[in-house]
Every structure is written in structure tokens, then in C-alpha cells.
Structure 1
Amino acid sequence: MPSIVTGHGITLNYQDEGPKEAPAIILIMGLGAQMTVWPEPFFYGLVKKGFRVVRFDNRDTGLSTQLEQYGSPSLVQTWLKKRFASTAAAPYTLEDMCQDTLALMGALQIKKAHLVGASMGGMIAQSLAAKHKKKVLSLTLVMSSSSMPRLCTRNFLLFMRLLRLQPVRNNEASSINYLVRLNQLIGSPGYPQDEHTLQKQAKLSVARAHTPNGFKRQLVALTYSGSREHLLPKIKAPTLVIHGLEDPIFPLCAGQKTAQSIRKAKLKVVPGMGHNFPPELMKKMTKWVAKHVTKSERKRLEKKARKCELHIMKS
């Protein structure tokens, strides 16, 4: 896979498919996940529908820059410093990750793009759409939120189980086992995957890249960056929110709140879906995103044509 280097010295590994002159869709992945977590049927499905589609490894994941000089930061210490100290140290923030995406767009000569963000990637996409309006043509938020999940009995127990799942050894076998158990916990009850399939996926992921501390640094960045709720009303791009009814990380109310806070956003609730990409739903999800992007493109071109007509009339 090719890569670019940002002005801040961050190497981003990416995949760019489809006609260069076609409307560009940029896929932004979530916490600790490599770009290969975007399912192939979804990625290539959008390419087959005539779009230019780009996916990439965020910093500290996959084959992009690993900021190992920051070590393994403590989430608890970061939270305490942010809450009680005047300043809090974090290796980087979600705003820095927004700048990574903009740098990738610049390097690929993509002036404007349709953004699709999953989980934390959706949070990055929200910030981009609010702060860089002219760069974002449409927004699709999948299993995302505008802030960290509020603790309740259900997700508190889940987070405790996730903490206990953390690999006790920094080796390939422990990482594979962790990924399998993780996906069993956060997966879709309506579309369960057997352990053999999860094992195969985990082995491929770990073989490509093994970055356990990168996950922790991204989690600290996510925690440090706080809520984006105040940014949502500033988003003007046509927005589609896709959220699973059974999401254990971000409950449905998180997706509902996001959709309500963005002007004219559309919400699509998916029964049986958790916090993953069920293979059985990829054909539908490809159709939903393609339809949303196509509609946004049509409205943009119609608006552009009206401006031209007005300019000619005034001339």
C-alpha cells in the first residue's frame, strides 16, 4: 500500500481506488482499528458504484506512524489531570487526527470529499464537517457518538469485561485471542460470527500490524478531546447516521442525539446490529451510503448550476 508524509512528519498508509475524477469518499476508521477493518464488500462495493474511495490507517494503527516515543499512557491519569489540573498532557488529540485526514486529502489532490466515519472515525469526521465546511460534501456516521459514552450499568459491566480482556503478554497469540474475545463482546447479536471466522480475521489483522500501545494512545486522545456536542449544530453537510439497535458501546440514544443535533440529518436504525460490520449487512450499507452520496452530489450540482444562472443573468 502507498503512503504519504504529513507536514508534521506523520506517515499515513492508505488505499485509493476508483476513477480519480469521480466523487471522492474518504473512510475514517475507529479506535485502534486498521483500515482493513472496513469490509472489502463495502469498500469495493462503493468503488463499483462509480466512486473514488480512500481508506487509511490512522496514526498509531496499522502501517502508519507508531508514536512509540510516548509509551503506554495511563487513561486514568489523563482523566484526573484533565479534570483537576489546569493543563493535561496527551500525546495528541482528535484535532491532530483531523489534520492527518486533511493532509491526506491535500496529498491526493482531493479538494472536497464525502466522509464516512466509524465509531471514533465518526467523531473525527464530525469535527472536520464543523470546522472545515468547505472540505466536506456529505457526512455518514456509523455506530458513532458526539462524546464518550455515559456510564450506566450495562456499559460499565461491558467496559470492565473489556479491561479484563487486555492481553497479559505483548505477543501475537495474546493479541489474536484479545481480538476474538473483543469482537464477541461488541459484535452484533442479530448477526453472530463463529469463532473460526473471528480467529481467521484476527490472525490476518495481527500479521499485518501489531500495535497494542497505539490503541492506548488513541484512547487517551479520545478522552482528552472531550465532547463535540457544541460543534454539531455548525455542521451544514447532508448527514446520514447509521446506528445499530444493539450497540453495546454507544447505545442507540447516542446516534439519536447526534441526528437530532445536526440540521436535517437522517437516522437509520439497524435492528440486530452491534458495534461492528456484520457481513450480511454490507450490501445494504453500501446501498445506503451510495444513495446518500449520490443525492448530496446531485443537490450540490443543482446549487452550482443555479449560481451560474444567477451570475449570467446579472451579467
Structure 2
Amino acid sequence: MTVIVPTGADNPLGGARVTGMPKASTNGVELEYETFGDPAAEPLLLIMGLGTQMTAWPDPFCGMIADAGYHVIRFDNRDSGLSTMVDAPVPDFGQLLGGDLSGVPYRMSDLASDAAGLLDVLDIPAAHVVGASMGGMIGQQMAIDHPRRVRSLCSIMSTTGARDVGQPAPEVLMLVFAPAAKTREEAIDRGQKMFETIGSPAYPTPTEALRTRIGEAYDRSYAPAGTARQLACIIASPDRTAALGSVTVPAAVVHGEADKLVDVSGGYATAAALGVTPLIIAGAGHDLPEELWETYVGAIVENARRAA
């Protein structure tokens, strides 16, 4: 969701991080995670998107899924939040967009293996997998690479990796490639501009609440170089369209009709690749407005129950 990245070296403030809960060591990284609900219930893994921490899955949202009978697990992807920050320089996006992938330290398959490894640490053979934005890409790749670990798949505001679908609007690209903020206040201002641009036009978040949320995320962890490496991963990873045809678990695709970060064509393409009918939400953008929590949770739970 928040995708402002540096154009050069990492911002010196990017190392500021708070102390979190115990982490899961897997696949060469440590992942910060948290759970909700009864550990004996069916596990459901929430995967968040580009430059976005696990706390972007709101606590009440996680609680709603748990109340529906699931053991909910959310975590920070590598290079975000309180999980491992990869020891690698920020990729040169000029070279990357020119086809030179040598500076990209990991691919979507690595992030999918991170998620599967978290299940290993938690002694969970398989889970319902729900991903938003880049998290949807990770979930898709997990269903492709680790099919026995996925009970059901729900891809939200995401895309297949095909270059002709799911692309950002021009005004969003300008924000995506803006230099990293140098102060907390600047980061909040930038985040506000981004969310006001990509958020749901029919369900806007009040400005004060939005700025508070962005400030809390900044205080927990601010790592623009990590976001840049994740963005490079998205660009460098191959199209998943053909491989998604092999996914046999129950699948759902949810997308906002007004999404300016991942165009709704990405949702249609994902649904077509999976052979399902997408749920397209009028007036929704690239966020999780509280007014739509019941809609999103309902789609997640309905799809998960089909796996039974």
C-alpha cells in the first residue's frame, strides 16, 4: 500500500525500528508474526503488500476472521516491519527496467518460501492463504510452488505479473518513484498523499485517522530501502498467468473498481487465470476501508469454507 521508495541510497532514518515479539527463523530470514483466535482452529495466513507492515491488517479485521472460526496469522514480509532487512543495496531501477535483473536480491518465489517456512515453524501443514496487493502475488506464488501448503487462496487487489494488466496510473507512478522522506512529518505527508490518491474514493479515511495510522507505521519501522528491494522483486519476477492454471484449491479474487495502484484489469486477469469470477467492488480503491470489512471478510470466509 504505502509504496514511496528512495531513488538512491537508503534514508538514514530507515534503521529506526521498535522491539517486537519473538520471530520465526526460516529460509535465511527472521519473520515477525502475530496470531489471533483459537490455535486449534483452521489456520489462515494473511500476507500484506509492498512496503506495508502486517499491522495494515487491522486488529478488528483479524478478529472478525478469527470469530468466524479461524486461527489467523499475520506477519511482516522480509524487508518490511520488524522482519529481516536484507543486506543488499537498493537496485538501480534504470538498469532493472532495461532488463538487467542482476541487482535484484530475491524473487517472488523467495517470498513465497518465506511464508511456507513460517508455517513450518508454527507446525502447520497447510493454511488458507489470503494476500493483498504484493501479498496476493506472494499467495499466488505460494499456491504454485507449495500447493500442498495452501488450503484455499484469496487474492485481493493484486495481479498476475503480466505486464499488460494491473499497472499503476501515471499519477501514482510519480509518487511511487519519489525520493524517500527525510523526516517523520515528511513521511506522514507523503503517505497521506499516496493514500488519498490510491484509496477508496467512495470510502475515504478521515485525514486525522489516516495521518495517525501512517505515523504509527513509521514509528514501528521505516525502511524505504526495503520497499525498494520489494518493488524490484515485483518487477523482476516472472508472469504467473500460465502457472496459475495449475492451482486446484478453492480460489477467490477481490478487487476495487477504482484501484489506481493495481488497476482492476489485474484482478480480472487473476480471476481468468484461476478460472473464477472476481468480486469487483464499486467505489473501492487500494486499501481496506472499515465500511468494506464485512465484504472482504465475507469473501475470505466463504472461499475458505469451500475448502472443507
Q: Which residue of 2 aligns with 1:72?
A: 90
Is residue 2:146 matched to residue 1:129? no
Larger mean Cα displacement after TM superposition, 70-79 or 234-243: 70-79
Q: Give CA-to-partner distance per residue, 1:148-183, whole Å, 9 cap, x none.
A: 65489981233124434x4342x3222222211111
Shift of residue 141 of structure 1?
Answer: 0.5
Distance 1:4 1:278, change over 3 A: same
Larger mean Cα displacement after TM superposition, 121-130 or 174-183: 174-183
For 1:23, the aligned partner's letter is E
CA RMSD of aligned residues (A): 1.9
**Separation in 2 of the partners of 1:154 and 1:89?**
23
Matches within 5 A, 1:35-114: 35-67=54-86, 69-82=87-100, 88-114=102-128
Distance 1:161 1:148, change over 3 A: farther
**Separation in 1 of the partners of 2:51 and 2:137?**
14
Which of the residues 269, 273, 276 maps onto 2:287?
A: 276
Of structures 1 and 2, the one scoring higher in RCO (CA 8 A, sep 6+) is 2
Matched positions, count: 288
Percent sequence identity is 32
Shift of residue 186 of structure 1?
Answer: 0.6
Residues 239, 266 of structure 1: 8 Å contact kept: no
Shift of residue 35 of structure 1?
Answer: 0.2
Q: Which residue of 2 aligns with 1:141?
A: 155
Residues 41, 70 of structure 2: 8 Å contact kept: yes
Q: Which residue of 2 aligns with 1:212?
A: 224
Residues 136, 159 of structure 2: 8 Å contact kept: yes
Q: Which residue of 1 aligns with 2:25?
A: 5
Shift of residue 242 of structure 1?
Answer: 0.4
**SS of equivalent residue, structure 2 residue 241:** coil
**Separation in 2 of the partners of 1:18 and 1:48?**
7
Matches within 5 A, 1:224-235: 224-235=236-247
Residues 167, 178 of structure 1: 8 Å contact kept: no
**Separation in 2 of the partners of 1:131 and 1:35?**
23
**Separation in 1 of the partners of 2:189 and 2:267?**
30
Matches within 5 A, 1:214-293: 214-263=226-275, 265-293=276-304
**Separation in 1 of the partners of 2:167 and 2:42?**
43
For 2:256, the aligned partner's letter is G
Q: Which residue of 1 aligns with 2:214?
A: 202
Q: Which residue of 1 aligns with 2:35?
A: 16
**SS of equivalent residue, structure 2 residue 242:** coil
**Separation in 1 of the partners of 2:106 and 2:60?**
33
**Separation in 2 of the partners of 1:223 and 1:16?**
31
**Separation in 2 of the partners of 1:283 and 1:152?**
25
Q: Give CA-to-partner distance per residue, 1:108-137, whole Å, 9 cap, x none.
A: 011011000101111111111122211111
Residues 144, 243 of structure 1: 8 Å contact kept: yes
For 2:45, the aligned partner's letter is I
Shift of residue 14 of structure 1?
Answer: 0.1
Q: Which runs of 5+ in 2 are unaligned?
A: 1-20
**SS of equivalent residue, structure 2 residue 35:** strand
**SS of equivalent residue, structure 1 residue 101:** helix
Q: Give CA-to-partner distance per residue, 1:83-115, whole Å, 9 cap, x none.
A: xxxx62311111111111011000001101100
**SS of equivalent residue, structure 2 residue 245:** helix
Q: Which residue of 2 aligns with 1:305?
A: none
Q: Give CA-to-partner distance per residue, 1:6-49, whole Å, 9 cap, x none.
A: 142x0100002222221110001110000000122221111111
**Separation in 1 of the partners of 2:261 and 2:163?**
7
| Pair member with larger Rg | 1
Residues 139, 237 of structure 1: 8 Å contact kept: yes
Distance 1:154 1:128, change over 3 A: closer
Q: Which residue of 1 aligns with 2:180?
A: 167
Matches within 5 A, 1:170-185: 171-185=183-197
